[in-house]
Amino acid sequence: MLSNKATVFISIAIIILSFLVSAYYFPSLPERIAIHWDINGNPNGYMDKAAGVLLLPALMGLLALLFFAIPKIDPKKRNIEKFRPYFNGLVVLLLVFLLAVHIETILWSAGLQVSPALLLPIGIGVLFFYIGLMLPHAEQNWFVGIRTPWTLTSESVWKKTHKIGGTLFKIAGIISILGVLSPYYSIYFVIVPVIAAAAYCVVYSYYEFAREKRRPKYVTRSS
């Protein structure tokens, strides 16, 4: 798993690479580039190329700063350190995904038109699957994980919810990847499973909290 220093180094390298890709292709791009596509894979949203080629690299930089700050500002920062290698992996994986989206966007406008319906289900599916791997290891914190009033109140409810949430998000990831088999409906392969998984986890955490509270000598635990 990635160390903190390796995560920072790799993240900076990915962000620099995104800017280099923008600079390399900038002269050959049209004045307006596609940044959004409909479910048929046809572009339906455009942006001035100067803004378009900088949008995602800038977003990646902001997200990296946010993720680097979270372990320092979270009141339960010591809990984040307990699963920091998984947290670091999520940071790098998210940036790699955004880099892939950035490259795909630029290549589309440069003439190499690969449908987002092929890239996005795979990329998002891998992200969901990795989140499923991370969730059972996550400890109580205010930024990462399934944060409901009930998981944040009870440590045992947090652990139970994240254990089942890990399984559900891995299933959602696999279903999302299968969306490449039906490009027209791929958006539903991505959205429906993750909404279902998240909704189930919210309801499950409430149910577990209510059941725990009914037990004799109920005590709320926190880290």
First-residue to last-residue Cα distance in the chain: 24
Q: What is the CA radius of gyration of the chain?
A: 20
Taking residue 78's Cβ as centre, other Cβ atoms within 10 Å add up to 12
Dist CA 125 CA 117 (whole Å): 12
Dist CA 209 CA 13 (whole Å): 43
CA distances to 145, 166, 199 from 139, rounded to whole Å, are 8, 13, 20
Residue entry with tokens 């790799």? 10
Do β-strands 32-37 and 43-48 pair in parallel, antiparallel, or remain unpaired? antiparallel
Q: Which two tokens stand for residue 29?
A: 């791009």
CA distances to 54, 84, 202 from 9, rounded to whole Å, are 21, 16, 36
Alpha carbon 28 to chain centroid distance? Answer: 31
Dist CA 171 CA 133 (whole Å): 11
pTM for the model: 0.90
Contact present, 92 and 2 (Cβ < 8 Å): yes
pLDDT at 90: 97
Contact present, 157 and 203 (Cβ < 8 Å): no
For the chain, 223 residues long, give each residue's pLDDT as a single digit of tens.
789 999 999 999 999 999 999 999 999 989 888 888 776 667 777 888 898 899 999 999 999 999 999 999 999 999 999 999 999 999 999 999 999 999 998 998 888 877 777 788 999 999 999 999 999 999 999 999 999 999 999 999 999 999 999 999 999 999 999 998 888 888 899 999 999 999 999 999 999 999 998 877 645 554 4
- Alpha-helical runs (H) found in the chain: 4-25, 49-73, 77-82, 84-110, 116-134, 149-153, 155-177, 186-214
pLDDT at 223: 44
Contact present, 116 and 104 (Cβ < 8 Å): yes
Dist CA 33 CA 104 (whole Å): 12
